[in-house]
Every structure is written in C-alpha cells, then in structure tokens.
C-alpha cells in the first residue's frame, strides 16, 4: 500500500508514520509527503527519510479546484492509494475528495465532536474539561466531521499547562496514528480478497 501524508507544519506525526513504515508495525510505504507550506519543518523530515515531497502552494493557483487537481495528478502519478492528513490545515475540497473518497483519514487533537477546528488543545484547556484526547476519522466535506474510526482519551490534570497537555496529546497521536493506519490497511486487504 503506497500512502501519502499531507502536513502543513512540524510533521511529528508524519515522522512517526515514516518511522513505523520502516518496521513490521506498519505495512505501508510512505511514497509521498504533500505540503502547502514550502517552509514547513515537515519538508526537512521528509528529506531526512528520503521520502519524495510535493510542495504545492495554493497561492500559485487561481482556484482551489486547480490547486487540488495538481495534487491529484501527482498522487496518481505516484500510484498513491491512501491519504493520511497529519496537521494539514486546509479543508479538503470536492476535487480531492471525489478522487479519493473513503480513502482519506485525518487525526485531530480532541475527542470529536468536541473542539473541532483550529487550536483544539487550547480550546479544551480553556473549557476546563477534565478529559480530552485524540480522534482519527474519515474525511468528508465538513470541518472535522467525518465518520470516527478511533479515539483515545487524555486526562487534563490540575498541574497541566497547554504546553504539557500538547506533549501528552502528541505522545498518544504518535502511537495511535500508525497503529490505526495498520488496522485500516489490514481491513482494506481483507475486503479486497
């Protein structure tokens, strides 16, 4: 299974997936990293892992459809069959969704449907909830609204700050994302038999 990871920022989740893909824990090849931010740290991580990177700046396209069509062309050229969004901070539009329907998943740092959108960790902290967590879900046209695949809770302790909470959440993400991708890949394999 050749997968692409989309990321806009640091890319720690992308790195966790690339690491897992070098072991038996994740039987997939990370065949492409896609970013919309030329200066994102994920670019450096991808090159360290020798994974090809597609830098596609939406500002260079007249429409979102044209931007996404360029990405779809590259995904097809690279024979990508599955997409994992990992901190890709853009809504997926119909061009990409229709080309990869049911084959795009996302990780979000809250227990959806609570705290969708930007700064989910800060939102949970401000709301003073005692439990937040991580969600992995299929992607649809909405903002963090697709069918939930799995969730893991993270407790917010009184001594936590946004910073310590973020570290706890990311630790969970780095385990949960690769293992969930492996489960999905096994399921796809069973269905294709």
Q: Which is nearer to ligand GAR, 69 or 172 (CB)?
A: 172
Give the residue, chosen from 33, 96, 100, 109, that forms a contact with ligand GAR under the rule CB under 6 A.
109
Identify whether 108 is a catalytic site residue.
yes
The CB-nearest residue to ligand GAR is 87
Considering only residues 89 through 108, tell me which ones interact with ligand GAR, judged by CB under 6 A. Answer: 107-108
The number of beta carbons lying within 10 Å of the beta carbon of residue 175 is 14
- Could you list the residues known to form a binding site for (6R)-10-formyltetrahydrofolate, using ranges: 64, 89-92, 106
Per the CB < 8 A criterion, the answer to whether 50 and 30 are in contact is no
Stretch that binds ligand GAR, among 12-20, 28-36, 70-78, 184-192 (CB under 6 A): 12-20
Instruction: Write 82-85 long-range contacts (CB < 8 A, 24+).
Output: 82/1, 82/2, 82/3, 82/4, 82/28, 82/184, 82/185, 82/188, 83/3, 83/4, 83/5, 83/6, 84/3, 84/4, 84/5, 84/6, 84/17, 84/177, 84/181, 85/5, 85/6, 85/7, 85/139
Residue 13 makes contact with ligand GAR by CB under 6 A: yes
Least distance from C-beta 130 to ligand GAR, angstroms? Answer: 20
Q: What does the binding site for ligand GAR look like in residue numbers (CB under 6 A)?
A: 7, 9-14, 86-87, 107-109, 120, 144, 170, 173
């Amino acid at each position: 299974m050749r997968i692409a990871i989309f990321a806009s920022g640091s890319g720690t989740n992308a790195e966790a997936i690339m690491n897992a893909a070098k072991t038996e824990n994740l039987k997939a090849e990370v065949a492409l990293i896609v970013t919309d931010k030329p200066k994102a740290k994920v670019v450096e991580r991808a090159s360290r892992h020798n994974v090809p990177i597609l830098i596609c700046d939406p500002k260079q396209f007249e429409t979102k459809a044209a931007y996404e069509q360029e990405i779809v062309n590259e995904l097809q050229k690279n024979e990508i069959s599955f997409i994992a969004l990992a901190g890709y901070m853009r809504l997926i539009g119909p061009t990409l969704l229709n080309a990869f329907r049911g084959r795009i998943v996302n990780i979000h740092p809250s227990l959806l449907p609570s705290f969708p959108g930007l700064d989910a960790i800060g939102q949970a902290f401000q709301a003073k909830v005692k439990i937040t967590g991580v969600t992995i879900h299929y992607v649809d046209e909405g903002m963090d609204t697709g069918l939930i695949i799995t969730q893991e809770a993270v407790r917010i302790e009184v001594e936590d700050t946004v910073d310590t909470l973020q570290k706890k959440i990311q630790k969970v993400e780095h385990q949960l994302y690769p293992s969930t991708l492996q489960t999905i890949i096994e399921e796809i394999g069973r269905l294709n038999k």
